[in-house]
Amino acid sequence: MSYDRCASASSVGERFALVLKDHPHRRFNPLRQEWVLVSPHRNDRPWQGHVDPPPSDAELTFDPACYLCPGNERARGIRNPLYASTFAFDNDFPALMPTTPAFASANDLLVTRSERGVCRVVCFSPRHDLTLARMELSALRAVVERWIEEYQRLAAIPWVQYAIVFENRGPMMGASNPHPHGQIWATETVPNEPAREQEAFTRHQSQHGECLLCSYAALETRLVERIVCGNDAFLAIVPFWAVWPFETLLISRRHIGSLHELQDAERAALADVLRRLFTRYDNLFEAPFPYSMGFHQRPIGQQSEGDWHLHVHVYPPLMRSATIRKWIVGFELLGSPQRDLTPELAASRLQGASERHYRLRAKEEAAR
């Protein structure tokens, strides 16, 4: 340990920050109840791994070959309407189906259970070339309203216990089509990740008498260092325990459990903070930034109102440039999650990124 450097710091907090900056350490994720290994000294290692070509910024507002563009044909001869805002439909190739019959294994070692579900696709815009970062705020607000409408429709199905609203952005995150869209999967049981978070919320409430994310948001608000952006209703934070290189956590400032509980102003605020955050992502590397984003909400039908807090996870895979891939492998896969880029460094880079999209700046400069 570089003790002399730490000893010169004027406070315990500064000494602690220096240790975290310079030395390998573990951080505890209270939502997942697991440790994350952080190795900040590895940031200077050379990279000779996979490098992708820079993505194209070519404009294509309508693609006649795209099965999500208005008026085009999808699978089995289904034709999209000439939609002008958002558009949702049942996935033509769903991972889950509502008609799956009930079955279960009787073997204690070979355990299986049937799972019903509904998979919906939500097109964010008729424009083929847009992303959430580049949409007008009013159009993004319409996406928020569509998410809420779809969530409530699925929640009304008697056997549905959970619904995850999510978006995979970019081919390296598994997006099969560049048209701006996301999905909603409704399931008969609560999936692993929100179920684990539910246990963490309940445990924290029982032990401390307060909500885990209410307490965490208050702490990060005092510390400021890892806050990327925010408004009156939401905070975007690089969490202290982040695993993905530029992972962020969006937390509602008000203690609510589900999207449909958002008030009118909060719905507008959600659209605002999403656009600002995703613009920062794009500007960080001046390229359409890939990520997986998803909402975690209270399980449908849960009786207790106090044991859940609405939040959004954003997991981007890129490390140091717009072309470097970094997958979870090796020790991360076989041991514990591990990261080289500290959450504090990731937050500082996102904080330094503009909220005016780089493509708008480029057009303005070209017009001068």
In the chain, the amino acid numbered 151 is Y
Q: Which domains does the chain have, with CATH numbers?
A: 60-368 (3.30.428.10)
Inform me whether the pLDDT recorded for 104 exceeds 50.
yes
Q: Region 136-152: what's the mean pLDDT?
A: 98
The Cα–Cα gap between 45 and 32 comes to 29
Place 102 in a pLDDT band, splitting at 50, 70 and 90: very high
Torsion of CA 70, 186, 292, 203, to 10 degrees: 160
pTM of the model as a whole: 0.90
Query: Among candidates 103, 107, 76, 106, which has minimal Cα distance to 92?
Result: 76
The least confident of 72-86, 193-207, 312-326 is 312-326
Given a contact cutoff of 8 angstroms between Cβ atoms, the answer to whether 158 and 126 are in contact is no
Catalogue the active-site residues.
181
Inform me whether the pLDDT recorded for 203 exceeds 80.
yes
Q: Which H/E stretch holds residue 198?
A: helix 192-208
The Cα–Cα gap between 255 and 147 comes to 19
Q: Region 20-35: what's the mean pLDDT?
A: 87
